């Protein structure tokens, strides 16, 4: 067992909760609803994504699911939301890998890091939930 | 003060250490090979205009070296410093991307990754100040 500073731990956890909860929501809002053409200046990526979006309802489901998981993180089930987001990100990486060209590997790599960030947040929440007070 | 499971905490830190250490090294190495992407498109003309002329054509490899060194620092015993270094470096990259404009999807991802590295640095700090 390890005795740690509760105030610092809670501060860290709260910041992570808001960032990782808001990240999928903001991404979906910005990407899909408000200004899709302003978000990215990569014509190839935009065109590919729009075409993929219109041809594949799975992407729409993916975007809706990620906002719901973001809401879960912000509300009553942060751990479950984090693990679900990690799982969804893994699926997204696989879809991106099968759909996009080599030039999109950067996005897959950043998604890969984000997967671990969500798993870390889930484990952090688990540690918080199972912690004992001293 | 709170008491947490040391084994789980160590597994979390060790996993993050290797992932967060190896990824900047991989990205840094790609600055020399351009396998993932042509990194030149992410160099802001505004930022380049403030740099000495001799550096501008070599800016991508220089960035690569910084990222490789930061990754190695994370994998060494100075993990906390390395994590904060990468977080700060991502801050610089985000500012650079803002000056290009239009790359808001990448900026959002980089913000999430920056928080990941900062969180990792804080976790290492928590462990260093923890008692058995």
Pick among B4, B23, B100, B127 to test the A interface (most A CBs inside 10 A): B4
Number of domains in chain B: 1
What string of DSSP letters covers chain B? -EEE-HHHHHHHHHHHHHHHHHHHHHHHHHHHH-SS--GGGGS-HHHHHHS-TTTGGGHHHHHHHHHHHHHHHHHSS-HHHHHHHHHHHHHHHHHHHHHH-S-HHHHHHHHHHHHHHHHHHHHHHHHHT-B-
pLDDT at A32: 61
In a domain, A2, yes or no: no
pTM: 0.82
Q: What are the distances in angstroms from CA B96 to CA A23, A26, A37, A62, B41?
A: 20, 21, 20, 30, 11
* Interface predicted TM-score (ipTM): 0.80
- Measured between CB atoms, does B77 come within 8 Å of chain A? no
Q: Does residue B1 form part of some domain?
A: no
Q: In angstroms, what separates the C-alpha of A63 from chain B's closest C-alpha?
A: 14
The answer to whether residues B2 and A132 touch, using CB atoms and an 8 Å cutoff, is: yes
* B50 occurs within a structural domain: yes
Burial of B73 (0-12, 13-18, 19+ CB in 10 A): buried
**Interchain pair B12, A124: CB under 8 A:** yes
pLDDT tens digits in sequence order for chain A, 134 residues long: 778 888 888 888 899 999 999 988 887 777 665 445 555 555 555 565 566 566 667 667 777 888 899 999 999 899 999 999 999 888 877 876 676 655 566 677 778 888 888 998 998 898 888 877 66
Residue A132, φ and ψ in degrees, nearest 5 = -110, 145
- Whether the Cβ atoms of residue B89 and residue B69 lie closer than 8 Å to each other: no
Q: What is A54-83 written as a DSSP string? A: HH-HHHHHHHHHHHHHHHHHHTT-HHHHHH
Tokens matching residue B86: 């990468």
Query: How much is the pLDDT for B18?
Result: 93
Q: Which residues on A lie below 8 Å from B113 (Cβ)? A: 110, 113-114, 117
Q: pLDDT per position in chain B (132 positions), as tens?
A: 788 888 888 888 998 999 999 999 998 998 898 887 788 888 888 888 888 887 778 888 999 999 999 999 999 999 999 999 999 999 999 999 889 877 777 888 888 899 889 989 988 988 888 776
pLDDT of the residue at A86: 92
Nearest beta carbon to residue B126 from set A4, A38, A40: A4
List pLDDT tens digits, range B47-85: 888 888 877 788 889 999 999 999 999 999 999 999 999
Q: Which domain does B28 fall in, by range?
A: 6-128
Q: What is the total count of domains within chain A?
A: 1
Residue A134 lies in a domain: no
What is the pLDDT, as a whole number, of residue B130?
76
A-contacting residues in B 85-114 (Cβ below 8 Å): 100-106, 108-113
Q: Is residue B70 part of a domain?
A: yes
**End-to-end Cα distance, chain B:** 12
Domain that holds residue A23: 7-129
């Amino acid at each position: 067992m390890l005795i740690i500073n509760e105030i610092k731990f809670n501060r860290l956890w709260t910041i992570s909760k808001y960032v990782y909860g808001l990240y999928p929501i903001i991404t979906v809002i910005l990407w899909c609803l408000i200004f899709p053409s302003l978000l990215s200046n990569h014509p190839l990526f935009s065109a590919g994504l729009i075409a993929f979006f219109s041809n594949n309802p799975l992407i729409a489901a993916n975007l809706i699911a990620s906002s719901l998981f973001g809401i879960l993180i912000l509300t009553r089930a942060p751990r479950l939301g984090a693990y679900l987001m990690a799982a969804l990100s893994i699926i997204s990486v696989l879809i991106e890998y099968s759909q996009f060209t080599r030039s999109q590997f950067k996005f897959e790599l950043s998604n890969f890091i984000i997967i671990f960030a969500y798993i870390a947040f889930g484990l952090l929440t688990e540690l918080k939930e199972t912690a004992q007070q001293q | 003060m709170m008491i947490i499971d040391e084994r789980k905490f160590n597994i979390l830190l060790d996993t993050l250490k290797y992932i967060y250490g190896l990824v900047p090294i991989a990205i840094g190495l790609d600055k020399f090979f351009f396998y993932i992407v042509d990194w030149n498109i992410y160099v802001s003309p505004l930022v380049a205009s403030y740099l000495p002329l001799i550096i501008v054509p070599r800016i991508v490899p220089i960035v690569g070296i910084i990222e490789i060194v930061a990754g190695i620092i994370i994998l060494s015993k100075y993990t906390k410093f390395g994590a904060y270094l990468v977080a700060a470096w991502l801050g610089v990259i985000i500012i650079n991307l803002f000056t290009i404009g239009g790359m808001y999807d990448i900026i959002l991802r980089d913000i999430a990754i920056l928080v990941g590295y900062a969180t990792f640095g804080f976790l290492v700090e928590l462990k260093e100040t923890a008692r058995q």
